[in-house]
Amino acid sequence: MFGFSLQKLLVLAAIVAAVWYGFKLLTRLQEARKTDAALRQNTAKRPGAARGDAAGKAEDMVQCPVCQAFVPARGTSNCGRADCPY
């Protein structure tokens, strides 16, 4: 009566799915471009900020005499070991 057939419904479903996923892809690309532009703008303002560190500078590290791990020189805290010097 209305001319519905399985082929027509499958083609309609494929078209709707293609449009849906196309919009999702465009939205993701737009967000990625926006994020990339913001990152480039921040990098232009602070040349060392490309790595993502807050100040854009390297931080001094010291080696723990107990566990031999390198920890930041500023802001070190106790690691929980009984013989930890920090």
Q: What is the pLDDT of residues 23-54, one digit of tens each?
A: 999 999 999 999 999 888 887 776 554 455 55
In a domain, 12, yes or no: yes
Mean of the pLDDT values across residues 45-67? 68
With a cut of 80, say whether residue 21 has pLDDT above it.
yes
Q: Collapsing DSSP states into helix, strand and coil, what is residue 61?
A: strand
In a domain, 81, yes or no: no
With a cut of 80, say whether residue 80 has pLDDT above it.
no
Give residue 35's domain range. 6-45
Chain centroid to CA 39: 11
Share of the chain above pLDDT 90, in %: 37
In a domain, 64, yes or no: no
In a domain, 11, yes or no: yes
Q: Report DSSP state, residue 75.
A: S
In a domain, 30, yes or no: yes
72 close to 59: Cβ distance less than 8 angstroms? yes
Query: Could you tell me which residues come within 8 angstroms of residue 47 by beta carbon, excluding any fewer than 6 positions away?
Result: 56
In a domain, 33, yes or no: yes
Q: How many domains does one find in the chain?
A: 1
In a domain, 34, yes or no: yes
Answer with the residue of higher pLDDT: 55 or 32: 32
In a domain, 50, yes or no: no
| Secondary structure E strands in the chain | 61-63, 70-72
- Which pLDDT does position 31 carry in this prediction? 96
